[in-house]
Amino acid sequence: MKFAILVNEGPYTHEASDTAYQFAKAVLAKGHEIFRIFFYHDGVNNATRLTTPPQDDRNIVSRWSKLAEEHKIDLVVCVAAAQRRGIVDEGEMKRNGKDATNLAPGFRISGLGQLIEAGIQCDRLVVFGD
């Protein structure tokens, strides 16, 4: 079965991105496909590579990057939500005249259409948030 996942909360404050991650791993372990994971609202903060949790804590951001690399999963960050919250890739940096980027590996910034497309293409869309 083809799954899409929506993550509406940032890392560490809410359990949502932890639950979404464990769910995503279980989806793959069951032999299903993840078409896309979409990050919206504060969920875009899952994509900043500048995060530095204490060494004895999980690194939520690099955990997503690793999942994307190992399983070729499309991690998409909403552009409008990202701009509001300062999640920046090369293209956004140039377009908006910023002096840095912070998008973690495996993520890409794109439009909300990617969320609707995932809803259309997938058998199930599961929402994690507050």
Partner 1 sequence: MLHIVNKSPYERPALDSVLATMSGGAILLIEDGVYAAVKGGAQEAKIKAAMERFKVYALAADLEARGMADRVIEGVTVVDYGGFVDLVVEHKPCQSWL
Partner 2 sequence: MSVKKFMFVNRKAPYGTIYAWEALEVVLIAAAFEQDVSLAFLDDGVFQLKKGHNTKGIDTKAFEKTWGALEDYDITKLYVAAESLAERGLTADDLAVPVEVLSRSEIGKLMEEQDVILSF
- Positions touching partner 1 (CB under 8 A) are 1, 3, 8, 15-16, 19, 22-23, 25-27, 29-30, 32, 123-124, 126-130
Angle subtended at Cα 36 by Cα 33 and Cα 9, rounded to the nearest 5 degrees: 125
Active-site residue, 78 included: yes
Contact yes or no for 6/126 (Cβ under 8 A): yes
Phi, psi of 4 (to 5 degrees): -125, 145
> Of the ranges 12-20, 47-55, 57-65, 106-114, which one interacts with partner 2 (CB under 8 A)?
106-114
Question: Nearest distance from residue 92's CB to partner 2, in Å?
Answer: 18
Amino acid at position 123, single letter: D
Catalytic hit among 60, 67, 68, 78: 78
